[in-house]
Structure 1
């Protein structure tokens, strides 16, 4: 996906090849703030979108930070009010943090 409505970019990082990685949230359903879902996006040095990975639950989800290691590992941190793997929603406002690892091609490796 490349066209997401109401995107909010939260963080960015780059790798040695000139690729840029972005994370944030987007409005999956404009009728409710609870419908915010998370995304991670990779662009090449020309600005061409290489991938956009969206994920979330029926509740609020956000991708607050992104980091890449040598362009081969991409890590995203965020918060959720839903159940992304291993979250128990015991934090403030019924939210929990998570860490998600992506491959350089955008495949989800794991979520913790």
Structure 2
């Protein structure tokens, strides 16, 4: 069963929204790309982050829950989490592991 980690990322008090998104793209994303077992990684920025209550959504796909757990428990996983804590409010940031994605509609 494939799975993914959905992350609703909230910046820390010392970081502006624009700084958070820039850091994520330029510094954090390259670290995430090195996670073992990672199959796909996307990020999206809400149109109105103040209303949304988060600064970006990240989605990390894995073959199965065991591969995801191995990834986050790895040395690289620890580095990614340490880096995330340098610019995100980890108490406010939500990390939601979810199962297979279902497509309900796709335009041709």
Relative to the length of structure 2, the TM-score reads: 0.31
Relative to the length of structure 1, the TM-score reads: 0.30
Richer in strand (by share) = 1
Determine which structure has greater relative contact order: mean sequence separation of CA pairs < 8 Å that are 6+ residues apart, divided by chain length. 2
